[in-house]
């Protein structure tokens, strides 16, 4: 798998050499050909303390922390202690799961600037405080950004499992773009974390010959992502989606209560031989796997494997994927690019949004100008599922929300000013609320407006229809498409 790596233009600013690795350790220890670029450190990997590693950072440098549970903790704490001796240190990370010392020890943002590819709750709060900045993207393109558009990172620091007998540090549950950063980095530091599960996959590790320094971390288990109870609305939406699914479908599930509710109901529906090719591996997907409903036997790509680029969830999930040959953790440009997704038949993509307009635009990442999460892979999976033979994509949401004790509609004539369109109207296939499901493909603006109004809470439909007529979205004489309503 994989393609020949793109070589950076011009000579590398680093003295490190890069060669092409012609093999990769598979789940059984066998070596398989691949086109991953190998970085060569000038000397052997040297074990140093976190404080010594933080001492290598100079003002003006760019650092990279990686994603989620692979972000460094010991190094971050040591760097935070140096805050007042540094200036203009810039750090890229993604989906932070612990408070970062570089922010907590620099509450005015005078010394460090943090940039994120996707917000979790902590990142969102820091963005509200002006201490974290979002980088727009399609998540599956990020490896290419590092190889083509971003200057080589001065220091990359990533958590990985302790060195294995085969000479590799395994990344555990998170591959994403870690190798792309390492390929061109001026300095590579690994912070070991024995608590990470060992996860098999494509390019899911770094060889000791590529590493400059090693920090011995702790054995703490990775952070868990709690998920709350599923609501009646979640179940109503899930029932509509499950009715569209069949044996052998290949799933991508996004984060949130509604996608996980789909997994819960699928267990009851008896659908079998499911495949998984997803960005994020969730507890809901692991529940399906452990229930024996996931075989991957009908996949065309990675047959028999659960393919993903990062896993974030409960300890039960981490235990389930540890040294499990059915699990296959791959770079995000393999899991998320539409031309790869479509190679599996009958891909079913299920993602959440927060607001839709009457033409089918889905705004999934901001509340006006306030950034909430990120584009992630939503658009790429919508497109990949559409291009898949027999594929379907579902964008789901509750019809209403409450703000200040007032119920408001998530189905609107116009998106909130400043809201970011994550999935354009031209890409939207199925829209789902607790009041129904509508396929917008091939529908005119007027037909779309009528169908989307049918997804709104009944209390808001009259006003929405009046607004649609006033703004000439829906002429009164138009023939309209049907919105399927949930079964009683």
DSSP annotation string for 419-451? ---SB-TTT--EEEETTEEEE-TT--HHHHHHH
Tens of pLDDT, residues 284-332: 999 999 999 999 999 999 999 999 999 999 999 999 999 999 999 999 9
Please say if the pLDDT value at position 27 is more than 50. no
CA distance 277 to 201: 13
Q: Looking at residue 33, what is its pLDDT? A: 39
Instruction: Tally Cβ neighbours within 10 Å of residue 409.
Output: 18
Q: DSSP class of residue 189?
A: E
The Cα-based distances of 459 to 435, 453, 454 in angstroms read 12, 11, 11
Q: Which is nearest to 144 in space by CA: 277, 350, 334, 280?
A: 334
Q: Looking at residue 87, what is its pLDDT? A: 98
Rounded to an integer, what is the distance from CA 11 to the centroid of its chain? 32
CATH class of 232-470: alpha beta
Q: Looking at residue 8, what is its pLDDT? A: 29
Q: What percent of the chain has pLDDT over 70?
A: 90
Identify the active-site residue in 203, 279, 447, 465.
279
Please say if the pLDDT value at position 168 is more than 80. yes
Please say if the pLDDT value at position 34 is more than 60. no
The stretch 41-62 carries a mean pLDDT of 95
**Cα-flanking dihedrals φ and ψ of residue 103, to 5°?**
-95, -45
The Cα-based distances of 180 to 44, 56, 453 in angstroms read 21, 22, 44
CA distance 283 to 311: 9
pLDDT band at 478; cut points 50, 70, 90: low
Q: Looking at residue 292, what is its pLDDT? A: 96
* CB 39 within 8 Å of CB 183: yes
CA distance 270 to 266: 6
Mean pLDDT estimate for the chain: 91
Please say if the pLDDT value at position 479 is more than 50. no
**How buried is 170 (Cβ within 10 angstroms: 0-12 exposed, 13-18 middle, 19+ buried)?**
buried
The stretch 196-211 carries a mean pLDDT of 97
The stretch 351-365 carries a mean pLDDT of 97
The stretch 189-197 carries a mean pLDDT of 98
Q: Looking at residue 64, what is its pLDDT? A: 98
CA distance 422 to 430: 15
CATH assignment of 17-215? 3.40.1080.10
Give the residue extent of every domain in the chain: 17-215, 232-470
Is 279 tagged catalytic? yes
Please say if the pLDDT value at position 439 is more than 60. yes
Please say if the pLDDT value at position 377 is more than 80. yes
Strand ranges, E, within 193-264:
205-207, 213-215, 250-253
Q: Looking at residue 482, what is its pLDDT? A: 59
Please say if the pLDDT value at position 7 is more than 90. no
Please say if the pLDDT value at position 484 is more than 80. no
Q: What percent of the chain has pLDDT over 90?
A: 84
């Amino acid at each position: 798998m994989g393609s020949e790596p793109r070589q950076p233009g011009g000579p590398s600013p680093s003295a490190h050499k890069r060669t092409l690795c012609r093999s990769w350790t598979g789940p059984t220890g066998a070596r398989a050909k691949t086109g991953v670029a190998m970085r060569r450190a000038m000397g052997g990997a040297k074990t140093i303390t976190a404080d010594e590693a933080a001492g290598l950072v100079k003002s003006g440098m760019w650092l990279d922390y990686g994603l989620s549970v692979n972000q460094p903790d010991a190094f971050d704490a040591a760097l935070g202690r140096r805050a007042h001796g540094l200036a203009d240190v810039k750090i890229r990370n993604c989906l932070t799961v612990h408070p970062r010392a570089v922010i907590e020890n620099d509450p005015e943002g005078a010394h460090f600037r943090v940039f994120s590819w996707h917000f979790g709750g902590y990142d969102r709060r820091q963005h509200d405080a002006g201490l974290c900045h979002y980088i727009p993207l399609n998540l599956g393109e990020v490896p290419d950004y590092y190889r083509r558009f971003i200057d080589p990172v001065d220091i990359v620091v990533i958590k990985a499992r302790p060195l294995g007998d085969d000479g590799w540090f395994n990344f555990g549950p998170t591959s994403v773009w870690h190798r792309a950063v390492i390929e061109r980095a001026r300095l590579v530091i690994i912070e070991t974390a024995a608590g990470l599960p060992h996860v098999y996959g494509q390019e899911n590790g770094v060889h000791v010959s590529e590493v400059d320094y090693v920090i011995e971390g702790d054995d703490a288990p990775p952070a868990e992502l709690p998920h709350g109870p599923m609501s009646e609305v979640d179940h109503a939406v899930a029932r509509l989606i499950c009715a569209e699914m069949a044996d052998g479908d290949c799933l991508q599930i996004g984060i949130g209560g509604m996608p996980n509710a789909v997994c819960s109901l699928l267990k009851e529906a008896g659908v079998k031989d499911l495949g998984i090719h997803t960005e994020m591996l969730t507890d809901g997907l692991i529940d399906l796997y452990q229930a024996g409903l996931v075989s991957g036997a009908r996949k065309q790509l990675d047959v028999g494997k659960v393919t993903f680029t990062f896993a974030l969830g409960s300890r039960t999930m981490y235990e389930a994927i540890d040294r499990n040959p059915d699990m296959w953790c791959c770079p995000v440009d393999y899991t998320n690019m539409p031309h790869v997704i479509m190679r599996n038949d009958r891909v079913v993509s299920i993602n959440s949004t927060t607001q839709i307009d009457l033409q089918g635009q889905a705004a999934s990442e901001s509340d006006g100008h306030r950034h909430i999460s990120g584009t992630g892979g939503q658009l790429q999976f919508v497109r990949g599922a559409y291009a898949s033979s027999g594929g379907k994509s579902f964008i789901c949401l509750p019809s209403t929300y409450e703000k200040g004790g007032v119920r408001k509609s998530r189905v609107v004539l116009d998106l909130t000013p400043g809201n970011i369109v994550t999935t354009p109207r031209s890409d939207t296939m199925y829209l789902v609320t607790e009041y129904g499901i509508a396929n917008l493909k091939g529908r005119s603006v007027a037909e779309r407006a009528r169908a989307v109004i049918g997804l709104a809470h009944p209390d808001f439909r009259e006003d929405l229809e009046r607004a649609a007529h006033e703004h000439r979205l829906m002429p009164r004489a138009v023939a309209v498409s049907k919105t399927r309503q949930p079964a009683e």
